[in-house]
Structure 1
Amino acid sequence: MSSAAGVIDWLRRRAPTRESLEANRFVRPFAHRVLRSDLWRFNRRSVPRGIALGLFVGILIPFAHSAVAALTAVFVRANVPVAIAATWTSNPATWVIIFPAAYEIGEVLLHLDRMTGVAPISETMQQTQTDHLLQSLTGKGLETAFGLFVIATVLAAAGYLASGLVWRLMVARKRRARLAQARIAEPAG
């Protein structure tokens, strides 16, 4: 079994079931939307969306990120179990690395922004109240909140691209195997 197939099997075993989400008191009011069958299928579009969404939400929102990912998956048509499983990348063990890195990234980017005469990031964030939104979502200071946003965005993009590539490789491998089987089964002529 390939490692990609092993990862998918692992996700299928560990991801919440439709029944467990239906019983969850936070999801129950939205169950009719979250439990649509198209949001639970594993396909080449929904899986990368789920991974990107889960990584983004898991890094940016420190609490109830699984419920937020499940509800947000409805709007972007992402795979719900994959989105929830991808939020698990953010846990107390990874926070030890993520939060200091986010602070450093945010501090460097905002310091570079202040050094320019225009300061486009800071001014835009203040004008649109994004600075307050990020601080409210993360519960951290502006530098850390902005760094978390940058990390979440980069990880989500990388996760989307990597999962799309892995999906293509898995499909290509299955196709080659089917073609090889068909050649073997062909009568010699």
Structure 2
Amino acid sequence: MPKKTIKRFMPDHQTIRDNKYLKVFGDLLHNPNLWHLNRHSVAKAFAIGLFFAFIPVPFQMVLAAGGAIIFHANLPLSIALVWLTNPLTMPVIFYACYLVGTLLLAVPERKFAFEANWQWVVDSLSTIGPAFFVGCLFLAIVFSVLGYFGIQSLWRYSVIKAWKSRGHK
């Protein structure tokens, strides 16, 4: 059942409540509804977490937490899913976003070499920036929608399968 599987991988409540960046939400983090695992809260958490995973901004966890609070999604899962884009996966995912952006904007790919400095970032905003941001937004929406409906379907399927195994029709 998805609920048992998800519970094994979820971050600890106290870890999230003690996170210095999430303290901005204060007592809102103590709302017990943000910690429940049900089909709707998990599906919304997947949508929120996957959306913010593809948005190239700092403090993605804070944005995901805010989204979870606003939309009554599972808070730990929303936060955990933004780590899909981590230092190991970020280059590949964001390069894919750039490629998708070039396709959507119908612009040619530009050759570039990443440099870890602020001047490179500023200079790149005018060259590869538009395609990169359009690709990020597009993939954020696509994966958010796929995550939401995928979890809804998977959860529903597992419940139906469990009912049938118990002899219910």
Shift of 1:66: 1.4
Instruction: Name the % identity.
Output: 28
* RMSD, matched Cα: 2.4
1:35 corresponding residue in structure 2: 30
TM-score (norm 2): 0.78
Shift of 1:5: 5.5
User: Is the alpha carbon distance of 1:78 and 1:9 closer, same or farther for their aligned partners in structure 2, counting shifts above 3 Å?
Assistant: closer
Matched positions, count: 151
Shift of 1:63: 2.2
1:78 corresponding residue in structure 2: 73
Contact 1:48–1:159 (8 Å) recurs in 2: yes
TM-score (norm 1): 0.71
Shift of 1:176: 2.4
Structure scoring higher RCO (CA < 8 A, sep ≥ 6) equals 2
1:173 paired to 2:161: yes
From 63, 68, 72, the equivalent of 2:63 is 68
1:16 corresponding residue in structure 2: 12
Q: Which amino acid aligns with 2:130?
A: L
From 131, 138, 143, the equivalent of 1:155 is 143
SS state of the match for residue 25, structure 2? helix
Gap regions ≥5 residues in structure 2: 108-120
From 48, 53, 56, the equivalent of 2:51 is 56
1: CA distance, partners of 2:25 / 2:3: 31
Which structure is larger by alpha-carbon Rg, 1 or 2? 1
Contact 2:56–2:136 (8 Å) recurs in 1: no
Shift of 1:6: 5.9
Q: Which amino acid aligns with 2:5?
A: V
From 46, 58, 72, the equivalent of 2:41 is 46
2:102 corresponding residue in structure 1: 107
Which stretch of the first structure deviates more once superposed, 99-108 or 41-50?
99-108
